[in-house]
Amino acid sequence: MIRIEKSDRLNSLPPYLFKEIERQKEEVKKRGVDIIDLGIGDPDKPTPPHIIEALNRAALDPANHRYPPYKGNAAFNEAVARWYKRRFNVDLDPEKEVVTLIGSKEGIAHIPLAFINPGDVALVTSPGYPVYNIGVKFAGGQTYFMDLLKKNNFLPDLDAVPKEIAKEARMMFINYPNNPTSAVATGEFFKEVVSFAESYNIIICHDAAYTEVAFNGYQPRSFLEIDGARSVGIEFHSLSKTYNMTGWRIGFAVGRAEVIQALGQVKSNIDSGAFQAVQIAGIAALEGDQACVKNMNREYTERRDILVDGLHDLGLTVERSCATFYLWVEVPKGYTSAEFASHLLTKGGIIVTPGNGFGAAGEGYVRMALTVGKERLKDVIERIRSIGLHKGVRE
């Protein structure tokens, strides 16, 4: 037997947030508890039938059983460019400004390898999607966290970034509509980001996975709509949330050609591209009837209102989000984020994500995902009521 020792790189990482939640859930399930899982952002509705049918047809074609081009099939990248033009009025060159990803998570994790040398600095939001920080660490970089605070509408205060840090930074990760806070960004904020990037020569990586999950007529913007944005960065997108395709692993990055090409160069040395049949199904998603997206958002709106109204009735503080399928809920007085999440799980069989799992600035909140049906959300409210949380005071 040889001695197995993990690398310092792995030993330095915290447990991956969602993996830890899954472990805790399994422990509680073994006790026979009926679990209502509001923890992980995995849509509960099936992928629309026309997308599945496109996959079925493509999977039967032997031409799709071989290696795909590393940067994606031309037809899929062209569909992405057409979708960006229709949705955001942004013109993209599918040859140079689009790259296909095996889900946007993969691209987000790999982009630091293209630009971060050991010791280099990247700016990352806290709370934020854990992969931003993990990707930087895997590349040997250092993370400077920009706190997202309620008083700033959960937008980073760029003026608060020390000038000496900004001068050293190579990259910045931002994400709007935001996971986990559900905050949205204004065009004015994006303009500030462009100006900041130009001043300090920083590559902007905007994670736009939730632009199509929006309510009450609100339409989130693309970062690339802003003048100058395409010269300073790229945008990541995914079909996972928009079309309930989380398990399919198909996404894309678009924007500054040199950045896209560098990401593609990393990918060509690491993976062999997304399954061609899945890319063909992705074309069906992007170019097919979008009624499925409207119906999904209608359902999420109803779920949001049930949960927000119920939480308000219990005295808990939460904003009525206009995008994403998350609620960012302030914990009751007397609890930490972890304590409140543990209380809900052990006493009520409800899984939520403690806010500090997304970064230190997330302390004082839990994230709830609207990924269970309306009747189950009503049950969530009744369970919280039954375990003694009234008017936001710990009993």
Distance CA 326, CA 140 (A): 31
Nearest to 101 by CA among 133, 138, 76: 76
Q: Where are the beta strands (DSSP E) in 87-199?
A: 98-101, 121-126, 142-147, 169-175
SS3 state of residue 93: coil
At 393 the pLDDT is 46
Burial of 338 (0-12, 13-18, 19+ CB in 10 A): middle
Distance CA 220, CA 338 (A): 31
At 394 the pLDDT is 45
- Per-residue pLDDT tens digits for 224-264: 999 999 999 999 999 999 999 999 999 999 999 999 999 99
Q: For residue 47, which amino acid is it?
A: T
At 18 the pLDDT is 64
- Give me the domains of the chain, ranges plus CATH numbers: 8-45+291-386 (3.90.1150.10), 49-287 (3.40.640.10)
At 116 the pLDDT is 98
- Per-residue pLDDT tens digits for 279-295: 999 999 999 999 999 99
Nearest to 204 by CA among 237, 229, 167, 177: 229
At 259 the pLDDT is 98
At 14 the pLDDT is 74
At 388 the pLDDT is 74
Taking only the tens of pLDDT, the chain with its 395 residues reads 999 999 988 888 877 666 767 777 788 788 888 999 999 899 999 999 999 999 999 999 999 999 999 889 999 999 999 999 999 999 999 999 999 999 999 999 999 999 999 999 999 999 999 999 999 999 999 999 999 999 999 999 999 999 999 999 999 999 999 999 999 999 999 999 999 999 999 999 999 999 999 999 999 999 999 999 999 999 999 999 999 999 999 999 999 999 999 999 999 999 999 999 999 999 999 999 999 999 999 999 999 999 999 999 999 999 999 999 999 999 999 999 988 998 999 889 999 999 999 999 999 999 999 999 999 999 999 999 998 764 344 44
For the entire predicted model, the pTM comes to 0.95
Burial of 8 (0-12, 13-18, 19+ CB in 10 A): exposed
Cα angle, residue 136 at apex, residues 234 and 191 outer, rounded to 5°:
35
